[in-house]
Amino acid sequence: MKTQKAPLSIRIIYWLTSFSLGMLNLVFIGAIIFNLMVNFNMFSNELDLAIELPVKVNFLEKGNLYLNNTDIEVELVEATSRIQFKDTPSFISRKIAFALIIVVSFGIYLFWTFRKFIKNVKDGIVFTMDNIGLLKKLAYGIAAFWLFSTVYLNIVRHYIASKLEFDNIEITSDVSNYSGILYLALFIWVLAHIFMTGLKLQEDQDLTI
């Protein structure tokens, strides 16, 4: 059911999503190649891979903040961090390469689903079972991504962060979480139900002579 031209904002969102999907596809190809090279030991132990640490680090560092022409003494007490391996062992490289494939695949699926939904809206096809299905898939996909991230964070915390030792830095057990991602999934799920109501209203309207 095509109507007039979609608003510019919708078209911009569609183009941005298409562009991001294209970039992700390139990243996926790179991730596949990287995986193959890691699994065939083409780097031996020469990779210096880095990963985000899902915990906060405590340390005491004094400094100054220059604001409103005033020099204010401050202390840096907490920060998030990432660690870089020197000559990453192959068993860690393989795990990181595998996790990269999973994350990029998720990203491609989510962007592809969202692009399909935006394309329908751009073409004036709004309240349909197809769009409701796409929204539900998006919600499931984002919820699954949150679950994967949570599991990954806890694995990294248990196997790496808890075994780190530094002279002047304390690694806390305060794990970051991505609860915002879960709330996004829940919001999209609710949006799918709103679209179901919209579909019913449209059907009633279409069957009003």
Partner 1 sequence: MAVIVNLDVMLAKRKMSLTELSQRVGITMSNLSILKKGKAKAIRFSTLEKICEVLECQPGDILEFQLDK
Q: Does 203 bind partner 1 (CB under 8 A)?
A: yes
CA contacts within 13 A on the Cβ side of 148: 16
Instruction: Return the structure tokens found at 143.
Output: 């919820």
Q: By CB under 8 A, name the one of 46, 71, 75, 204 that touches partner 1.
A: 204
**∠ CA 80-82-83 to the nearest 5 degrees?**
140
Applying CB under 8 A, the span of 20-28, 72-80, 149-157, 199-207 interacting with partner 1 comes to 199-207
- Considering only 31-39, 90-98, 108-116, 200-208, which stretch makes contact with partner 1 by CB under 8 A? 200-208
Contacts of 119 (CB under 8 A, 6+ apart): 14
CB-nearer residue toward partner 1: 65 or 209: 209
8 belongs to the binding site for partner 1 (CB under 8 A): no
Query: Considering the complex, what minimum distance in angstroms separates the CB of residue 202 from partner 1?
Result: 11
* Residue 138: Cβ within 10 Å count: 23
| Closest distance of CB 203 from partner 1, Å | 8
Residues with Cβ within 8 Å of residue 156, at least 6 apart in sequence:
51, 53, 54
Nearer to partner 1, 3 or 68 (CB): 3
The total number of residues shown for the chain amounts to: 209
Residues that bind partner 1 (CB under 8 A): 203-204, 207-209
